[in-house]
Structure 1
Amino acid sequence: MDKIKIALVDDEELFRKGILFLLQREENIEIVFEASNGQDLLEFMINSTLLPDIIMMDLKMPLLNGVEATKIINRDFPNSKVIALTSYNTKSFIANMIEVGASSYLIKSASPKEMIDTINEVAKKGFYYNENVLQVIQDDVLIKGKNARSIFDEDFLTNREKEVLLCICNQLSTVEIAEKLFLSARTVEGHRNNVIAKTQVKNVAGLVVFAIQNKIIQLNTLSLED
């Protein structure tokens, strides 16, 4: 019986080693690679003749995050299936990862049994969606084209949109933002409306809540997160 070849990609080393310890105890699983970011994973896959069957992928990582890495893997290495393994459990993140090609979505608070079962299901069927993921799909988050994307998309917000969002969170008016960024008020309004559309919030107050909840800004200093 061929073993399921697994790559673990997570920048939290302690968590990654814990998953490694659990999976190494499974007779039908072999860990072929570990990485702390998507860029190292892609370099490995480009240069390796031993590609993983399944990649356990975190979302928020340095250099290349899980969303962008999954897009590339889905395009260039379609035989390697991605299981998103993350602490983010919202419809937008789930929908986004499914949209870019993840074969399953697993929350880090899941039990070891859930993780093993998910790996085996993906290895067997090519995908595995639990009830939560199925509910998201049933709610037409993807089908209706609502652009339910997450902040970890490389092109989710432009640099200028991020600057405008930061100014909004600092409670600057449109005129004050325009003066600060050397833009016209009309241009500022255009950027603000674009951010509202992308984040799918209803108003400027919603933008502030979104920015704080998604850690785009640091609440204590009101500065952009790295």
Structure 2
Amino acid sequence: MKTIKIAIADDQILFRKGIIGIINSFENIEIVFEASDGQELLDLFEKAEEIPDIAILDLSMPVLNGIDTTKILHEKYPDVKIIILSVFSEDRFVTHLMEIGVNAYLIKNVEPEEVERAIKTVVEKDFYFNEAFLSAMQKRISGKKTRLMLQDIIPTLLSQRELEVLDLICKQYTAQEIGEKLFISTRTVDGHRNNLLEKTGMKNTAGLVVFSIKNNLIDPATLM
């Protein structure tokens, strides 16, 4: 199995060194460079001979915070996955981050095993949502009225095949698995995914899942 390369940015030195030690203990995962803020991380990306697979970012950093760093990374290095580590857990805030292209959001008090699981899942399936996040999403949409406008235009916005692909994406099937289930090629699956991103305005697969949950296309309870 290919070693997953990770860059990390966090201004809290003790925490950063601790998480580096934890991540380097995981099998087939290694930290390739570290930074104390987003700008320093971007400078290291510019100099890197090999671009990391994942950037793990603290949300609140001096000079350049996690949100602004995410936006720049997406523009310059679109293949890099983003995992945010933060002390904030408010679900509206987390949802916004997923919509701008973050692949996973973890609270800093999670167990090391979940960090490892999130890293590997993000590489394999493009996003990682834990039970806490999905429960928060479910609470957020409960009691809300269905978005009539979107429900009305969904049949014209997305084709039936795109809806089928979207449903399987939300259930964390890989492109190959989706292709096998729908009897289409992986390239065709990727084409449908790209169309979904363009039509919904989302940045990545994580955003597609958030879009589906917010617009009642899928129940978060089915993803737990």
What is the TM-score with the length of structure 1 in the denominator? 0.59
Match of 2:72 in 1: 72
8 Å CA contact 2:91, 2:137 repeated in 1? no
Structure 1 runs of 4+ with >4 Å offset? 135-138
Q: In 2, are the aligned partners of 1:103 and 1:127 still within 8 Å (CA)?
A: yes
**Aligned-partner Cα distance in 2 for 1:135–1:103:** 18
Which structure exhibits the higher relative contact order, with contacts defined as CA atoms closer than 8 Å and separated by 6 or more residues?
A: 2
CA RMSD of aligned residues (A): 2.0
What's the counterpart of residue 57 of structure 1? Answer: 57
User: Does the residue aligned with 1:85 lie in a helix, a strand or coil?
Assistant: strand
1:105·1:129 contact (CA, 8 Å) conserved in 2? yes
Larger Rg: 1
SS at match of 1:22: helix
SS of the residue corresponding to residue 40 of structure 2 reads helix
**Structure 2 residue identity aligned to 1:82:** I
Aligned to 1:119: 119
- For residues 22 and 45 of structure 2, the distance between their equivalents in structure 1, rounded to whole angstroms, comes to 23
Cα deviation, 1:55-113, whole Å, max 9, x if unaligned, reads 11100000000011011112221111011111111023202211221000000010011
Map of 2:155 onto structure 1 = none
What aligned pairs does 1:98-177 form with structure 2 within 5 A after superposition? Answer: 98-137=98-137, 139=140
Equivalent in the alignment of 1:189: none
Aligned-residue identity in percent: 44
Q: Which whole-Å CA distance do the structure 1 matches of 2:39 and 2:17 have between them? A: 19
| Residue 31 (structure 1) shift | 0.9
- The equivalent of 1:41 in structure 2 is 41
Cα distance 1:99–1:117, how it changes in 2: closer, same or farther (>3 A)? Answer: same
1:137 is displaced (CA, Å) by: 4.9
Q: Distance in 2 between matches of 1:135 and 1:75?
A: 31
TM-score with structure 2 setting the length = 0.59
